[in-house]
Structure 1
Amino acid sequence: MDIQSLFAAQSYTSSKPALQPVPETTQGAKEAFVNVAEDFAQTVQAGEETAKAAMVGQADPHALVQALAQSELAVETAVTVRNKVVEAYQEILRMPV
């Protein structure tokens, strides 16, 4: 019995550092979120520029449809992510303290 409890204590102490947060991980998540937000803004801006060019006859109708489809997909993705975040927040609020 003593050997098993000693082994359990050693495995707990060896796994404890793995459970602590690593500052580099949070920095990577922040950078990833910034990159996604910038990509979203660029996609919407490119769609707007193509739409403006199509209004004055400088863009191909196929390019306009493609840009609008990309913009629509980006907006739908952003709305879905927002809905999931709101849903998670509401679920946290429902948790008993």
Structure 2
Amino acid sequence: MSILSALAPDLYARDRMVVRPEAADPDLATTAATFAAEFAQTLNRNEATARAALRGEAELHSLIEALTSTQNAVETVAAVRDRVVEAYQEILRMPV
């Protein structure tokens, strides 16, 4: 028995950790829930800023930041939605 064959199990275990780490990636449901919660939180925070600006309690600069942030959030959600629809359509095109 050579030294290399004796070390093979240890080397295999080490390489497996590099290729596929033991720490589990968050699943799709958790990622989607986190994304939706952050989106709702962003919209609520920016809506509160807009209401404060209408009452004269917030500066114009903060209102513009809130509007820009809301626009970016909505565009991001639309892009994610488009990618999900595109992936679904790809799945439907697969031969059975």
TM-score (norm. length: structure 1): 0.69
Distance 1:94 1:69 in 2: 37
* Structure 2 residue 55 is matched with structure 1 residue 56: yes
SS at match of 2:78: helix
State the 1:34 CA deviation. 2.1
State the 1:47 CA deviation. 1.0
Distance 1:33 1:85 in 2: 11
Q: Which has the higher helix share?
A: 1
* Structure 2 residue 95 is matched with structure 1 residue 87: no
* Structure 2 residue 69 is matched with structure 1 residue 70: yes
- CA RMSD across the alignment: 2.5
State the 1:85 CA deviation. 0.4
Q: Flag as ranges the 4+ runs of structure 1 deviating above 6 A.
A: none
Distance 1:36 1:79 in 2: 13
Distance 2:34 2:90 in 1: 27
Please give the residue correspondences for 1:8-87 in structure 2 after superposition, counting only pairs within 5 Å. Answer: 24-25=24-25, 28-29=26-27, 30-87=29-86
Q: How many residues align?
A: 79
Amino acid at match of 1:66: E
Q: Percent identity?
A: 46
